[in-house]
Structure 1
Amino acid sequence: MERLSRLPLFVLLIGVAGAAMMLPAGYAAAGDWNAIARNFFFSGILLLVMAALLAVALAASPISSGPHGRSALATMLGVFGLLPVALGLPLAMSLPDTGMFNAWWEMVSCLTTTGATLYAAEMLAPPLHLWRSLVGWMGGLFILVTAVAILAPLKVGGFEILSSPYGRDERFPRLPDSAGPPKQAAQYYLADGDRGTPSSRALRSLFDVLPYYAGFTLVLWVLLLLGGDPGLIALSRAMGTISTSGISPVSGATGVHSGIFGEMMVFAFMILATSRRFWPGGEQLRATDSLRSDPELRLGVGVVLLVAAVLFARHFFATFEQVTDAEDPATGLLITLQDAALATWGGLFNALSFLTTTGWNSVDWQGARSWSGLESPGLLLAGLAIMGGGIATTAGGVKLLRVFALARQSERELERIVHPTSVSGGGRMGRRLRGEGAYLAFIFFMLFALSIAATVILISIHQIEFDTAVMLSVSALTNTGPLAGTIALTPSFEASAGIASNPWEGWSGLATLPKTVLAGAMIVGRVETLVILALLTPDFWRR
């Protein structure tokens, strides 16, 4: 443990990537895909040897141990930008006509938990699907670990919303005991993640998060198997749900094999992406003590219920009047209520799925669309993806806590219009959310909007339709790859990812420049714009 903590985090991740390749290698060997097994095995050996050589070469080099080490944020960018080159080696070797660039792009999409793909599901061998799902699963784990180990000490990535501007914990101060000696009034807050090197902090956070992360995945996998999903599909669904990557070895809805039971299980585990409260670490993000009053959970539940209610009510009353005028109102009403219940479930599932940037579709989503008469669901689902899930979770988007801070600040401004001399309550956390938190949230929201505009402009250089460019940009920046399939995209055939590619989905047929821009947008959406701006400030790099 101590020796590993002395190594750079990037070197450790290269070794982890090499070791992870042994899993699809064994699966391919057991399934008689010998060529694919060799590709994964030798690629894994290559990465393990490279990690060992780098470890020996860098063992004597000192690593910055302060919480503001210059390499921490740069390492995160390197992981999402450079590590996919190594992760894409077996994919490029197994698909010789795809090219290294397309393999790198696919791994960027998986590692950032975006889930966009260049390939048709039925054209890839099962070991390659397993590798894509595993990379997405590891990408989600990396986000949960680095949120506490890297972003929390630097007060970025959402931790700035509730962080004390004075560097101390002001949330729940305790008065000194009357009978005992007085305690120190000001205790400066220093999280466990602030001590040691980035590697040591990441390893400590990994040991805390991994049992929960792997345990949730295992439980969901077993439940989906019991529901009727085949082994690989169930495992990919479980990993794609916990990591919110939305990666699946088959196309189509979630409950094709497991039905409503499987969708209910997936729905329950997607709630984990609405708040950091369900994961170890991130105590700074707890605005309240109780789970019931958690602002992210309350806002997420409210948005999901509102979307489902709107979809339900939009067509219910008109259909109800038609049924009452029919010859057999009782039978017609029963059928209508059954269809309404299924449509409501489809709306609930898809609302939570895209709010957490997972991107699964319910088997009853088409029924929900037909029931509500919704012709263009892409805009609704894009709005949910932009709102995003919980801060410091695997979800992307603007995040619920930032939206909540802006809503509370807007509510307070309306109160001041009616009662200019009123004093607002809510405690220290409430005042901070309406003050510094809302200010920082507004800055992030504006940067996010500018990122969408810049991405649309850059990928439109190759004469891509505007609605297609907007949907691809939002999908990349919110890390919700399946979002691009919610509207009929205009396909482009300027490039190809090989015989297994699927240009009709909107990603594969793009030229090199739009693909590169979208890959960069995935990284920006995953790391967040404020983190990248922190890397560009001169004060950050000054010793």
Structure 2
Amino acid sequence: MAMTPGERILSLPLVLLLTGIFSIAMFVPALHALVQQDHTIARSFFYSGLLGLALVMVVGLAMSGQVRRDASDLQNLLSLFLTYTLLPFFLALPFYEGVQTTSFLNAYVEMVSSLTTTGATLFSEPGRLTGSLHLWRGMVGWLGGLLVWISAAAVLAPLHLGGFEVTARAEPGQDAQRLDRFRRASSARRIAQFTAHLFPVYTGLTAAIWMLLLIAGDRPLVAIMHAMSTMATSGITPLVGVPEAQSGVAGEGIIFLFMLFGLSRLTFSSDTTTTSETGLWGDPEFRIGIALVLGVPVLLFLRHWVAAFDVDEIENFREAVSALWGGMFTVLSFLSTTGFESVAWEQARGWSGLGTPGLILMGLSVVGGGVATTAGGVKLLRVYALYLSGRREMEKLVHPSSISGAGQASRRIRREGAFIAWIFFMLFAVSLALITVIFAGLGIDFESATVLAIASLSTTGPLTQIAGEVPISLMELSAAAKFVFCGAMALGRLETLAIIALFNPSLWRY
């Protein structure tokens, strides 16, 4: 039976389809540059988009005559790995031609950072990039966030990776189809179905943030960039920082509300339910995230009266509220691995008496957001599994013969789920130590090496500018350090367990 045009397109490798999508996306900054009368940048994006589409068509026609079986989940995982490592070479082409005053390696690092939603930039000087180039950075990050949403459900979930291994019955990286009563849909059909389901939600939420930020007073380019960065948790901005936005505290309130989507998948989908309780508040990830967002700023707030200032100082109520808000916004921002800094963060730091609370921000980034969201880090579900296991062990110290209840799902998370979560945590710690040592071996001081390793593995790029005593200039890193940084960002986005799953022999059998 002959395949329809749609089925032929879906039968192509995932990395080839993504190349076509990003090629079409290049026409948007090309049109923006044309409107701004910047013809050089317009031509670079337009010709690169045509080149990408021509390449996809040629490769697609060459593969159309072959009888191909449906791509396996492991092959799609390999496509994701190639997407995060090889596709940025193509994405960097118009960016490199548009900047004209940088090396291709710097453009590649910038695109890897954007695609993995890390958001670390080499071009932090105001005015170095035009609006069209900033728009391309934001679009790459936004599409990278959408890719995370879709691939989590269509690629990682069937393989029990990306946090799904905590609640799954099969081993991480293994297909549990033998446990299913019915045969699953093909991987191409699953990707198409989840794209059709999640793309309108993702786009609609982004449009809502954009309109609200416009109403709050932001310029159109700033509003759309911050809207895309909020949904993708990339932290990409055309400004030096969010405090420079004209929307002020009102804009931060809008961003704060939508950053909550990075704490739990259940804020927009029901495909990662982990307990028998229904509703968002029944999700342990969301509860832990809210507890951190409220608890950490309160502790910083209370520290003011413990050790920070003289007892005779007359307090300002408005300054106190501003400091508390600055702490809440920044904590949620780094917990969701977005990395936006509040306009009141300086007041929060001064109020708490902490000169550079970078260790707190790095700890929040390591914890990360929810499973199958655009947030990086260890993930809240794994933290919850370790918490359940630890609490049960403490109960057994008091009552050694006690029998735990809470249902089969909770027992699964507390036992096998906690074991796998601990393995992942150890792999994350080993990866962090190894990358830190490599950075240090390349001549970077220990503090900067640690910040770079955490920023890349947790996909929280703004840590490089905020966490240390002095901002880290990524532009001044050696070529070897930049490649290590790119590899660490790809590792942080795919996670160590997924990289290990790529060594499965069944992937290379055919």
- What TM-score, normalized by structure 1, do the two folds share? 0.88
- In the alignment, does 2:180 pair up with 1:188? yes
1:102 Cα deviation after fit: 1.5
1:190 Cα deviation after fit: 5.7
Structure 1's 105 and 136: CA in aligned 2 closer, same or farther, altered over 3 A?
A: same
Letter in 2 for 1:538: P
Q: Which residue of 1 aligns with 2:436?
A: 456
- Contact in 2 for aligned 1:309/1:344 (Cα 8 Å): yes
Q: Which residue of 1 aligns with 2:255?
A: 266
- In the alignment, does 2:110 pair up with 1:113? no
Structure 1's 55 and 539: CA in aligned 2 closer, same or farther, altered over 3 A?
A: closer
Q: Which residue of 1 aligns with 2:86?
A: 82
- Contact in 2 for aligned 1:159/1:284 (Cα 8 Å): no
- Contact in 2 for aligned 1:489/1:505 (Cα 8 Å): no
Q: Which residue of 1 aligns with 2:400?
A: 420
1:82 Cα deviation after fit: 0.7
Structure 1's 364 and 489: CA in aligned 2 closer, same or farther, altered over 3 A?
A: closer
CA distance in 1, matches of 2:256, 2:394: 36
- In the alignment, does 2:459 pair up with 1:479? yes
Give CA deviations for 1:402-434 in whole Å, capped at 9, x if unaligned: 001001100000000000111112111210110
- Contact in 2 for aligned 1:4/1:199 (Cα 8 Å): no
- Contact in 2 for aligned 1:534/1:540 (Cα 8 Å): no
SS in 1 for 2:286: helix
- Contact in 1 for aligned 2:275/2:409 (Cα 8 Å): no
Match of 1:288 among 270, 277, 299: 277
Gaps of 5+ in 1: 168-185, 327-331, 491-503
1:539 Cα deviation after fit: 5.0
- Contact in 1 for aligned 2:339/2:460 (Cα 8 Å): yes
SS in 1 for 2:227: helix
Match of 1:525 among 474, 492, 495: 492
- In the alignment, does 2:134 pair up with 1:154? no
Structure 1's 105 and 90: CA in aligned 2 closer, same or farther, altered over 3 A?
A: same
Q: Which deviates more, 10-19 or 280-289?
A: 280-289
Q: Which residue of 1 aligns with 2:3?
A: none
SS in 1 for 2:65: coil
Structure 1's 456 and 24: CA in aligned 2 closer, same or farther, altered over 3 A?
A: same
Structure 1's 287 and 374: CA in aligned 2 closer, same or farther, altered over 3 A?
A: farther
1:372-383 alignment runs, 5 A limit: 372-383=352-363
1:313-352 alignment runs, 5 A limit: 313-316=302-305, 322=311, 332=314, 336-352=316-332
1:58-457 alignment runs, 5 A limit: 58-65=63-70, 68-119=72-123, 120-165=125-170, 188=180, 194-196=184-186, 198-254=187-243, 256-280=245-269, 282-283=271-272, 285=274, 288-316=277-305, 322=311, 332=314, 336-457=316-437
1:60 Cα deviation after fit: 2.7
- In the alignment, does 2:1 pair up with 1:2? no
Structure 1's 518 and 11: CA in aligned 2 closer, same or farther, altered over 3 A?
A: same
CA distance in 1, matches of 2:182, 2:421: 24
CA distance in 1, matches of 2:442, 2:11: 46
CA distance in 1, matches of 2:484, 2:291: 34
Structure 1's 57 and 298: CA in aligned 2 closer, same or farther, altered over 3 A?
A: same
CA distance in 2, matches of 1:27, 1:18: 15
Structure 1's 445 and 45: CA in aligned 2 closer, same or farther, altered over 3 A?
A: same
Q: Which residue of 1 aligns with 2:29?
A: 24
Q: Which residue of 1 aligns with 2:476?
A: 509
- Contact in 1 for aligned 2:435/2:488 (Cα 8 Å): yes
CA distance in 1, matches of 2:284, 2:372: 14
Match of 1:50 among 33, 52, 55: 55
SS in 2 for 1:536: coil
- Contact in 1 for aligned 2:70/2:188 (Cα 8 Å): no
Which one has the largest radius of gyration? Answer: 1
CA distance in 1, matches of 2:42, 2:276: 48
- Contact in 2 for aligned 1:112/1:136 (Cα 8 Å): yes
Letter in 2 for 1:382: M
CA distance in 2, matches of 1:71, 1:318: 56
CA distance in 1, matches of 2:290, 2:66: 49
- Contact in 2 for aligned 1:225/1:231 (Cα 8 Å): yes
CA distance in 2, matches of 1:408, 1:190: 32
Structure 1's 467 and 215: CA in aligned 2 closer, same or farther, altered over 3 A?
A: same
Letter in 2 for 1:513: A
Letter in 2 for 1:462: L
How many positions carry a matched residue from both structures? 499
Structure 1's 321 and 517: CA in aligned 2 closer, same or farther, altered over 3 A?
A: closer
Q: How many percent identity over aligned positions?
A: 42
1:278 Cα deviation after fit: 2.1
Structure 1's 166 and 114: CA in aligned 2 closer, same or farther, altered over 3 A?
A: closer
